[in-house]
Amino acid sequence: MPKEVWVPQKLEELGKQLGVTGVKGTSKIGLKTLPENSIEVYLKSQDDIKKLTEHVGNVPYIVARSEDWKVIPAEHLVAAVPKDSGTKILMKTNEPEEAKAFLYALELGVDGVYVEKSDNLREICSILEPVPGVIELVDAKVKGVEVGTILGARVCVDFTDYLYPGEGILVGSSSNFLLLPHAETFKNPWVEPRPFRVNAGDIHTYVSAGHQKTKYLSEIEGGDVLPVVNYKGKTRLMQIGRVKIEKRLLIKIMAEYDGIEGHTFLQYAETVGLVSSDGSMLPTTKIKPGKLVKAYVRREVGEMHIGTFVPKGFLVEK
């Protein structure tokens, strides 16, 4: 379920621009309003959590506020109020860092936040920007491969959580044609798995940042957040813990789908590869013309301007 942001009536105009869920009070411009039978609670101790559970299932929203302690009260709320109870929990906050803690408490998070000041509303709303739950991937056909004759700077992206078989991040030399390098999740006789790592390609390569945005692999760093995608297109956000750049031999992989062509560069090694059509890893040492690999292909012609897609009538990348 998507998270929610509610604001008071005085922030309604700004809230509408930012796509908030609605307002507490009477809307003047037709936004959704918080139901009148919602209640507010002030959390000072565990006893307050126990008291508010009496209202669970009987009111649509509980708007909670805490002063000194923030994260632990939010976790207690998430544990105390089942997601299928019919009651949603909003935490009051004006701080982006608090909003993050509330929205990810015990992994599930509260249902939303109530923001009373305009100062950080834009940043808080950006935290909740949805990344598509599923994006459309296609089976692209490998048209050719070229192993390099000199070294290039390749980028390993190490995340702060586990990656699973069939997952990777979308990369490519064209933002309209992105391929899916496979995470290093598999055991082999020579190297221990790195279930946090995607060996993603060389420094010039685009990496999908979600919302039709990209970054260059040379730009990303520890602390950034990227969408991780599996072979069925299911997407989730993960934070980068470290970016590791080293000189390695690269291979150029060219692919095509329905007349649209693209390519990417990856390290030439048995532990590095693309996600194939069935979700398995196809090592770069075994990629041959005719093999099918997962790709994201955008038919609309356009270019990336400072990481954002801009439609245009003519563009050639090769």
DSSP structure class, residue 229: E
Residue numbers of the domain that contains 193: 138-311
Whether 272 is in a domain gets the answer yes
Phi, psi angle pair for 222, to nearest 5°: -55, 135
pTM of the model: 0.70
Shared domain for 249 and 292, answered yes or no, is yes
Structure tokens at 136: 């459309």
Residue-wise pLDDT tens digits, 9-48 = 999 999 888 889 999 988 888 889 999 899 999 999 889 8
Same structural domain for residues 22 and 110? Answer: yes
- Domain count of the chain? 2
Please indicate, yes or no, if residue 158 is contained in any of the structural domains: yes
Question: Does 144 share its domain with 163?
Answer: yes
Q: Which among 86, 299, 66 is positioned nearest to 174, based on CA atoms?
A: 299
- Same domain assignment for residues 86 and 231: no
Contact 298, 315 (CB under 8 A): no
**How confident is the model over 119-161, as pLDDT tens digits?**
899 888 887 766 667 889 999 999 999 999 899 999 999 999 9
Residues 143 and 292 in one domain: yes
Task: Sort strands 39-43 and 213-216 into parallel, antiparallel or unpaired.
Answer: unpaired
In a domain, residue 318? The reply is no
Are residue 96 and residue 166 in the same domain, yes or no? no
In a domain, 317, yes or no: no
pLDDT tens figures, 53-89: 888 999 999 999 998 889 999 999 999 998 889 999 9
